[in-house]
Amino acid sequence: MRAVGGLLALLMSISAAACADEPVPVPVPQTLEQAAAQRERADALRKQAEERYQAEQNACYEKFLMSDCLVAAKKRHSASLITARKLDQPAIDFERAARRQDLESREAQRAADNLARQSEEQGRAQRYRAEQTAKLAEREAKLADKAKKAEAGRQRSAAEQAKRQAKLDKRARQDAEREARKAAEAAEPASK
């Protein structure tokens, strides 16, 4: 009965110790600066735990029950590292989420920039095609105008040539008539 009572007392003391050592809620950082500060505190806790563990180990080597002392020192060291990790983990998670969010926003910005660039390139391509079509239409209009002017020039030239030819024909007829009159006048005195 006494052993059961002792065991019960031991369990109660362990549960009381567990209740006394209930973990304090770790603050979740809200900014990158808070996360960096929290990680620095966790690093400082780790460093203190290492220094304390080294000091406790050195002190344990001077005690008679050295292995029990080393085991207890190791447990305290592990508990300190767990506390530091619990402080560090929310900061790591926050930084990771912030990096992920930053990456996603950069990807979204890059996608928006690509869409804007593509639409701009399509606009430029459409303007270029429109300009080329306008230039081609202008060139064709100039060529048609030149062809029209050339045709008008040929017609004018043909009309002038026909006019000249008509003049030459008229002059040749007049010359022939004059020659015929002269020949008739020259033949008239000879016939008289």
pLDDT in tens, 130-174: 999 999 999 999 999 999 999 999 999 999 999 999 999 999 999
pLDDT in tens, 19-32: 445 556 777 888 88
Q: Report pLDDT for 192.
A: 58
Per the CB < 8 A criterion, the answer to whether 86 and 69 are in contact is no
Percent of the chain with pLDDT strictly greater than 90: 64
pLDDT tier for residue 51 given thresholds of 50, 70 and 90: very high
From CA 184, how far away is CA 190, in angstroms rounded?
Answer: 10
CA atoms within a 13 Å half-sphere pointing along the CA-CB vector of 156: 6
Residue 61 has pLDDT above 70, yes or no: yes
**In this structure, is the dihedral angle defined by the CA atoms of residues 83, 88, 93 and 94, taken in order, positive or negative?**
positive
Q: Report pLDDT for 180.
A: 84
Tell if the pTM clears 0.85, that is, is over it: no
φ and ψ at 16, to 5 degrees? -65, -40
